[in-house]
C-alpha cells in the first residue's frame, strides 16, 4: 500500500511526458491513416472542384464536374450508378434472404453442420480475380461449361456470348458476385443464430411453436443488428464493386456494365481527367456514408 | 418430455428437402474449385471437348511449368508473399500501439480517436486512389513494393484496431497497475505485458489482413505497371491476356494463387471464420 501511495503523486506530475508517450503510441497509425486516407480524401474533395489533368495546376470550376457527371451522356455515370444499385438490389433481396435461410437451417443442428458451413464460406476466401477467371471459363461462348451444358440438354437456342452481349453482360457479373458472398453473410448471421440462447428456443417450442415460428418471432428479432450490418455491407460493397467487372467485361460491351470504380480508373488512364476522377471518388464516399446512415436509421425505426 | 420433443422434431420430408438444398448448394460451391484443379492439369483437347468436367486422363504437370516460366507465377507469388507479410506486420504493430494508447492509457481524446480510426471501416478504398496515385507518380514511387505495402497497411488498419480493441479490453487492468508498481513505464508495460498477451489477437488480425492483401486487385492493378512487382491477381490478369486460347497454364496459375489460402483454410477453418465474425459483429 505504501508503495502505491508513493506512485500516485509521481504519475500526476509529468503530464507532458504522458502526452508525448500517447502521441508516440499513436504516431504510426496516424501517419498511415492520415497519409493514405484522410489527406487524400481532403485533396479529392478540393480537386473535384477543379478542371485538372493531374500535372499542370488545375483551374477552379466549382461544381461543374458534378453537374457534368450527372448530365453528360459520354461519362456514363448514370449507367454506372444504375448498375451498382441493381447489384445492391439483388444482393439485398436475393443474396441476403438466401444467406439467412442457410444460417437458420444450419443453426438447427443438422448433421454435417460444420462441413456445410465451411464449404459455403469457402468462395469468400478466394480472390475475386480467380473467381472471375473461373467464371470466364464457364461463360466462354465456344467451350464454356454453360453453353456446352445448354447444347447437352438441347437448349442450344438459349446459348449466348454471355459476357459480350448487352442483354446478358450485367447478369453475368451479378450472378458470380452474389454467389461468392452468400457464404460471408451466412457466416455472420449464423454466428448470431448460434448466439441465441437455446433456452429461448426450447421455451418457445414448449409453448407449441414450430421451428419456423421460433425463427420468425424469436431468432430473427434478436439477430436484427447483424442483418443490419449485412445489409450495409451488401449495399456499400455493391457500390464499391470493381474486380469482377474488370475481369469479366472490362465495363463493356459499349460501356453497358461500367460501375463507378471502373469509370474512376478510366478517368485516370484513358482520359487524363483527374478532377472528374476525384469527383467520382467523392460521390462514392458520399453514397457509402449516406446508405450506411439511412439503412441503420431504417433498422432503428423498425425497432421502435 | 421425451415424447413431446420427438413429436416436435421436423418432419422427415422437411429434413430431406433441407438436406437436398444443403447438398446442392455445397455442390455449387465446390464445383468451380474442383473444375479449377482439374483443368489446370488438362490439355486443350480435353478441356474443349473430350473430357470437360471429368478428372484429367493425362496429368499435364507441364501446365504448371508453363505458368511458372511464361507466366512468371513464381515471381508474382514471391511478390504477393512479400507485400502481404510486410503489410500485415506494419498494420499489426501500428494497431497494437494505437489500441494501447486508446484503451489502456487514460486521457480525454481516447474515445474520439477511436471513432476517428473507425471511420476507415466505411470509407471506400476508391476515395484515396486519385491523390495517392498522383503523389506517387510525381515522386516516381510507382512500381515499388512499398507502393502497395503502405496503402495496404493503412486499409487494414481500422479493422486491426477494431479487433485489437476487442482483445485488449479483456486483459485485466490490474496487470498494468502491477507492472507500474514494479517500475515498468508505459513502453515496458506495452512490450512486456500487453504484447505477449495479444498472441490470440495476432492470428485473428493476421488472417483477416492476409486475405485482404493477398486478394487485393484494384490498387495493385492501378499502381503496378511493370511486370517485376506484380502481385498474383495482377499477374493472373496479364497471363490470361497472353494465353487466351491456352487454358491449362491459366488454370495452373489460378491454383498457384489459391492453394495457400485453401490449405490454411482446411487446417484453420474455425479460426478463419472466427476472425471474419470478430471483424463484423463487434463493429
Instruction: Reduce the DSSP state of residue A180 to 3 states and report it.
Output: helix
Q: Give the distance from residue B233's alpha carbon to the nearest chain A alpha carbon, in angstroms.
A: 6
Radius of gyration of chain B (CA): 24
Cβ-defined contact of B128 to A264 (cutoff 8 Å): no
Cβ-defined contact of A206 to B215 (cutoff 8 Å): no
Q: What is the mean pLDDT of residues B53-74?
A: 84
Give the one of B15, B19, B128 whose C-beta lies nearest to A37's C-beta.
Answer: B128
CB A249 within 8 A of CB A163: yes
pLDDT score, position B283:
43
pLDDT score, position A177:
95
Q: What is the mean pLDDT of residues B222-247?
A: 87
Q: Does residue A1 surpass a pLDDT of 60?
A: no
B142 vs A: CB within 8 A: no
Q: What is the mean pLDDT of residues B238-242?
A: 84
DSSP β-ladder status, A59-60 and A50-51: antiparallel
Give the one of B33, B128, B133 whose C-beta lies nearest to A268's C-beta.
Answer: B133
pLDDT score, position B282:
53
Instruction: Reduce the DSSP state of residue A123 to 3 states and report it.
Output: helix
Nearest to A220 by CA among A125, A104, A114: A104
Residue B38, CA atoms < 13 Å, CB-side half-sphere: 17
Buried b (16+ CB within 10 A) or exposed e, A98-114: bbbbbbbbbbeeeeebe
- Distance, in Å, from the CA atom of B164 to the CA atom of B151, rounded to the nearest integer, reads 20
Cβ-defined contact of B280 to A125 (cutoff 8 Å): no
Measuring CA to CA, how many Å separate A232 from each of A82, A126, A298?
18, 22, 11
pLDDT score, position B122:
81
At B138-186, the pLDDT tens digits run 888 888 899 999 999 999 999 999 999 989 998 999 988 899 888 888 8
Q: Does residue B93 surpass a pLDDT of 60?
A: yes
Q: Write down the ipTM of this complex.
A: 0.87
Q: Give the distance from residue B83's alpha carbon to the nearest chain A alpha carbon, in angstroms.
A: 16
The model's pTM: 0.88
**How many CB atoms within 10 Å of residue A71?**
10
Give the one of B98, B132, B236 whose C-beta lies nearest to A129's C-beta.
Answer: B236
Q: What is the mean pLDDT of residues B67-76?
A: 88
Contacts of A219-226 with C-beta under 8 Å, sequence gap 24+, read A219/A104, A219/A107, A219/A193, A220/A100, A222/A192, A222/A195, A222/A196, A223/A189, A223/A192, A223/A193, A223/A195, A223/A196, A224/A299, A224/A302, A224/A303, A225/A299, A226/A188, A226/A189, A226/A191, A226/A192, A226/B280, A226/B281
The CATH homologous superfamily for domain B74-281 is MetI-like (1.10.3720.10)
Instruction: Reduce the DSSP state of residue A60 to 3 states and report it.
Output: strand
At B188-216, the pLDDT tens digits run 999 998 999 998 888 889 988 998 899 99
**How many CB atoms within 10 Å of residue B263?**
10
At A98-127, the pLDDT tens digits run 999 999 999 888 889 999 999 999 999 999
Count of positions (residues) in chain B: 283
CATH of the domain spanning A77-257, picked from 1.10.240.10, 1.10.3720.10, 2.60.120.1440, 3.40.920.10:
1.10.3720.10
Instruction: Grade residue A2 by pLDDT with cuts at 50, 70 and 90.
Output: very low
Instruction: Reduce the DSSP state of residue A58 to 3 states and report it.
Output: coil
Q: Which helix (H) or strand (E) holds A164?
A: none
Q: What is the mean pLDDT of residues B131-136?
A: 86
pLDDT score, position A9:
47
Using a CB-CB cut-off of 8 Å, the residues of chain A touching B47 are: 143
At A149-206, the pLDDT tens digits run 898 898 888 888 898 898 999 999 999 999 999 999 999 999 999 988 888 888 888 8
Cβ-defined contact of B281 to A188 (cutoff 8 Å): yes
Nearest to A121 by CA among A173, A177, A179: A179
B12 vs A: CB within 8 A: no
| All cell numbers assigned to A114 | 460444420
Cβ-defined contact of B280 to A247 (cutoff 8 Å): no
CB A280 within 8 A of CB A263: yes
Q: Give the distance from residue B258's alpha carbon to the nearest chain A alpha carbon, in angstroms.
A: 6
Instruction: Reduce the DSSP state of residue B138 to 3 states and report it.
Output: helix
Q: Which helix (H) or strand (E) holds A50?
A: strand A50-51
Task: Determine which of B28, B96, B112, B126 to mutate to test the interface with A (most A C-beta atoms within 10 Å).
Answer: B126
Quick one: what percent of chain B has pLDDT higher than 90? Answer: 45
Q: What is the mean pLDDT of residues A119-142?
A: 92
Q: What is the mean pLDDT of residues A28-45?
A: 92
Task: Determine which of B1, B124, B182 to mutate to test the interface with A (most A C-beta atoms within 10 Å).
Answer: B124
> Which of A292-296, B54-58, B231-235, B253-257 is the least confident region?
B54-58
Domain boundaries, chain B: 2-39, 74-281
Q: What is the mean pLDDT of residues B12-35?
A: 93
Q: What is the mean pLDDT of residues B5-14?
A: 64
At A251-303, the pLDDT tens digits run 889 899 999 999 999 988 888 899 999 999 999 999 999 999 999 999 988 77
B194 vs A: CB within 8 A: no
pLDDT score, position B46:
80
Q: Which residue is it, cell 465474425?
A: B277
Residue B178 CB contacts under 8 Å (≥ 6 apart), including other chains:
none
Nearest to A276 by CA among A88, A53, A31: A53
Amino acid at each position: 500500500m505504501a508503495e502505491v501511495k508513493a506512485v500516485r503523486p509521481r504519475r500526476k506530475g509529468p503530464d507532458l511526458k504522458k502526452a508525448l508517450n500517447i502521441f508516440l503510441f499513436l504516431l504510426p497509425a496516424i501517419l498511415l491513416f492520415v497519409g493514405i486516407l484522410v489527406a487524400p480524401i481532403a485533396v479529392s474533395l478540393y480537386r473535384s472542384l477543379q478542371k485538372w489533368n493531374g500535372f499542370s495546376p488545375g483551374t477552379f470550376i466549382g461544381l461543374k464536374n458534378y453537374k457534368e457527371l450527372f448530365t453528360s451522356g459520354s461519362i456514363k455515370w448514370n449507367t454506372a450508378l444504375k448498375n451498382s444499385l441493381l447489384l445492391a438490389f439483388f444482393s439485398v433481396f436475393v443474396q441476403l434472404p438466401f444467406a439467412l435461410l442457410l444460417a437458420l437451417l444450419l443453426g438447427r443442428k443438422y448433421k454435417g453442420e460444420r462441413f456445410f458451413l465451411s464449404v459455403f464460406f469457402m468462395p469468400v476466401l478466394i480472390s475475386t480475380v480467380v473467381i472471375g477467371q473461373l467464371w470466364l471459363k464457364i461463360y466462354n461462348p465456344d467451350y464454356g461449361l454453360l453453353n456446352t451444358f445448354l447444347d447437352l440438354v438441347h437448349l442450344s437456342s438459349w446459348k449466348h456470348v454471355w459476357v459480350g452481349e448487352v442483354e446478358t453482360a450485367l447478369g453475368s457479373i451479378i450472378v458470380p458476385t452474389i454467389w461468392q458472398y452468400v457464404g460471408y453473410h451466412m457466416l455472420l448471421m449464423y454466428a448470431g443464430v448460434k448466439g441465441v440462447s437455446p433456452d429461448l428456443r426450447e421455451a418457445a417450442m414448449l409453448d407449441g411453436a414450430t421451428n419456423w415460428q421460433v425463427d420468425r418471432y424469436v431468432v430473427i428479432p434478436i439477430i436484427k443488428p447483424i442483418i443490419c450490418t449485412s445489409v450495409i455491407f451488401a449495399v456499400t460493397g455493391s457500390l464499391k464493386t470493381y474486380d469482377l467487372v474488370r475481369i469479366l467485361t472490362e465495363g463493356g460491351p459499349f460501356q453497358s456494365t461500367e460501375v463507378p470504380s471502373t469509370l474512376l480508373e478510366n478517368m485516370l488512364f484513358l482520359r487524363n481527367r483527374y478532377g472528374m476522377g476525384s469527383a467520382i471518388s467523392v460521390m462514392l464516399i458520399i453514397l457509402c456514408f449516406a446508405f450506411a446512415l439511412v439503412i441503420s436509421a431504417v433498422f432503428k425505426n423498425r425497432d421502435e | 418430455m421425451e415424447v413431446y420433443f420427438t413429436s416436435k422434431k421436423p418432419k422427415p420430408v422437411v429434413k430431406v428437402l433441407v438436406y437436398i438444398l444443403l447438398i446442392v448448394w455445397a455442390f455449387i460451391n465446390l464445383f468451380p474449385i474442383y473444375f479449377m484443379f482439374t483443368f489446370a492439369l488438362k490439355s486443350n483437347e480435353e478441356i474443349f471437348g473430350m473430357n470437360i468436367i471429368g478428372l484429367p486422363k493425362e496429368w499435364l504437370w507441364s501446365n504448371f511449368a508453363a505458368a511458372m516460366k511464361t507466366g512468371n507465377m513464381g515471381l508474382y507469388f514471391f511478390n504477393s508473399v512479400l507485400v502481404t507479410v510486410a503489410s500485415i506486420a506494419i498494420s499489426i504493430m501500428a494497431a497494437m500501439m494505437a489500441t494501447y494508447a486508446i484503451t489502456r492509457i487514460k486521457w480525454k481524446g481516447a474515445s474520439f480517436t477511436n471513432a476517428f480510426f473507425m471511420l476507415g471501416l466505411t470509407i471506400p478504398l476508391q476515395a484515396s486512389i486519385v491523390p495517392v496515385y498522383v503523389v506517387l507518380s510525381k515522386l516516381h514511387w510507382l512500381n515499388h513494393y512499398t507502393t502497395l505495402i503502405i496503402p495496404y497497411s493503412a486499409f487494414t488498419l481500422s479493422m486491426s484496431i477494431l479487433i485489437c480493441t476487442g482483445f485488449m479490453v479483456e486483459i485485466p487492468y490490474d496487470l498494468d497497475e502491477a507492472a507500474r508498481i514494479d517500475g515498468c513505464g508505459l513502453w515496458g508495460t506495452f512490450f512486456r505485458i500487453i504484447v505477449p498477451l495479444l498472441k490470440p489477437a495476432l492470428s485473428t488480425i493476421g488472417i483477416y489482413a492476409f486475405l485482404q492483401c493477398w486478394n487485393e486487385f484494384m490498387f495493385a492493378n492501378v499502381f503496378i505497371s511493370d511486370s517485376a512487382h506484380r502481385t498474383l491477381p495482377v499477374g493472373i490478369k496479364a497471363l490470361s491476356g497472353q494465353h487466351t486460347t491456352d487454358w491449362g497454364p491459366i488454370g495452373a496459375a489460378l491454383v498457384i494463387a489459391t492453394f495457400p489460402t485453401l490449405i490454411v483454410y482446411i487446417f484453420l477453418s474455425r479460426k478463419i471464420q472466427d476472425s471474419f465474425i470478430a471483424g463484423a459483429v463487434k463493429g
